[in-house]
Amino acid sequence: MASTSQPTSRRPLRLWPGVVAAVLGSLMVSYTRARAEALGVACKVGIATRPVRVVILSAGLVFAKGASLGNFELLEPAVYVLAGVTAITTIQRIIYVRSQLRSM
């Protein structure tokens, strides 16, 4: 007898690398700031500070498919944008701290 079960969605498998990159990137942004401040450098530079990251993720959640605000699907792009801007911000902070420490 043939199985009538629905095929599993491939979307979660496609999205997990972006989610992992976004989470690790967000942790690295905070970690680089904490390490910089432990070294005596005030490090509030970068394009993706905490409020920016919250806005990106919130916009993705508000306009996600099934959020009753239309037939948008912005969660996946928001996750990838978050992953990208957190990587850029981490690099910006590392470069900034290195330059500040060299000038000391």
pLDDT digits (tens, 9 = 90+) for 20-48: 999 999 999 999 999 999 999 999 999 99
What integer pLDDT is reported at residue 41 of this predicted model? 94
CATH code, 16-102: 1.20.120.1760
Mean pLDDT on 93-102 = 96
Say what the pTM is.
0.81
CA dist., res. 100 & res. 30, Å (int): 18
Q: What is the DSSP letter of 72?
A: -
Please give the full DSSP string across 17-66, using - where no structure is assigned: HHHHHHHHHHHHHHHHHHHHHHTT-----SS--HHHHHHHHHHHHHTSTT
Q: What is the pLDDT of residues 46-95, one digit of tens each?
A: 999 999 999 999 998 888 877 767 667 888 899 999 999 999 999 999 99
Model pLDDT, residue 30: 93
